[in-house]
């Protein structure tokens, strides 16, 4: 299984490298829509699929979130504008932080490399990264009609069980920090993907570094 995954991830890397551009506003390397679909966007798709399979009571949860937000769902053409504004604020807050802001349709994905978020093999958030998470909290508190899905990912080193557990622990650490900072529990979802969603080749150390990451997917609540 790891051999198949490595082959798929390598093809993603080749496609991404041919589609990268530089954003002078954010200082980030960006990827075209085609490249995102092949690599980084797979994380968003996996999150959406996971939620669809897991959450059979999403309607009630959305009602609780919207009640806390004191307003209705984001409707129709307003969804794009709502997420556009949220994306712009996130890019402003996170410029130079090392966090990538990736837009996938009406969803936003924040990709946080493990080397700046956690020490190797640890689920304790690096102290110098807390201010970055505080910047994220400021925005998601303002845009409170979004579901916040925190997913942990690892490289292929170590056993499947170890990687799964570490990915869950890291995602939970970030989610708990958000909750302690005032983000309500109903808005937070935690997923551990282990090594199953690589965005780079695990054949190189540079690729493994990219795969050791936490992603935060912001999904608009469009129905009660």
Task: For each of the domains in the chain, give its residue range(s) and CATH number, in order of start.
Answer: 42-220 (3.30.1330.60)
pLDDT at residue 33 tops 60: no
| Chain Cα centroid distance, residue 6 | 21
Task: Locate the DSSP E strands across the chain.
Answer: 20-22, 29-31, 100-104, 107-113, 146-153, 188-192, 213-220
DSSP 11: H
Confidence class for position 145, pLDDT limits 50, 70, 90: confident
Q: What local confidence, expressed as pLDDT, does residue 58 receive?
A: 56
3-state DSSP assignment of residue 135:
helix
Q: Which residues contact 95 (CB under 8 A, 6 or more apart)?
A: 25, 26, 27
> CB burial class (10 A; 0-12, 13-18, 19+) of residue 94?
buried
pTM of the model: 0.74
Summary mean pLDDT of the chain: 77
pLDDT digits (tens, 9 = 90+) for 174-207: 999 999 999 999 899 999 999 998 988 999 998 8
Read off the pLDDT of each residue in 150-177 and give the average, rounded to a whole number: 94
Confidence class for position 109, pLDDT limits 50, 70, 90: very high
Give the residue from 159, 182, 152, 210 showing the smallest Cα distance to 1: 159
pLDDT digits (tens, 9 = 90+) for 34-88: 333 334 545 677 777 777 776 656 555 555 545 544 555 554 558 889 999 999 9
């Amino acid at each position: 299984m790891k051999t198949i995954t490595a082959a798929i991830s390598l093809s993603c890397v080749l496609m991404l490298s041919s589609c990268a551009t530089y954003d002078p506003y954010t200082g980030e390397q960006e990827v075209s829509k085609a490249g995102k679909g092949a690599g980084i966007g797979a994380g968003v798709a996996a999150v959406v699929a996971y939620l669809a399979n897991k959450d059979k009571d999403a309607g009630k949860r959305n009602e609780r979130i919207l009640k806390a937000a004191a307003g209705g769902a984001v409707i129709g053409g307003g969804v794009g504008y709502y997420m556009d504004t949220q994306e712009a604020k996130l890019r402003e807050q996170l410029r130079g932080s090392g966090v990538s802001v990736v837009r996938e349709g009406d969803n936003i994905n924040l990709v946080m490399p493990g080397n700046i978020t956690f020490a190797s093999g640890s689920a304790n958030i690096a102290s110098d990264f807390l201010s970055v998470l505080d910047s994220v909290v400021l925005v998601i508190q303002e845009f409170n009609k979004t579901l916040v899905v925190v997913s942990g990912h690892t490289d292929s080193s170590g056993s499947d069980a170890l990687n799964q557990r570490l990915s869950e622990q890291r995602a939970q650490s970030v989610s708990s920090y958000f909750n302690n900072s005032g983000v309500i529990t109903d808005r937070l979802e935690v997923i551990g993907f282990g090594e199953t969603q690589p965005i780079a080749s695990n054949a190189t150390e540079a690729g493994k570094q990219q795969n050791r990451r936490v992603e935060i997917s912001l999904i608009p609540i469009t129905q009660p």
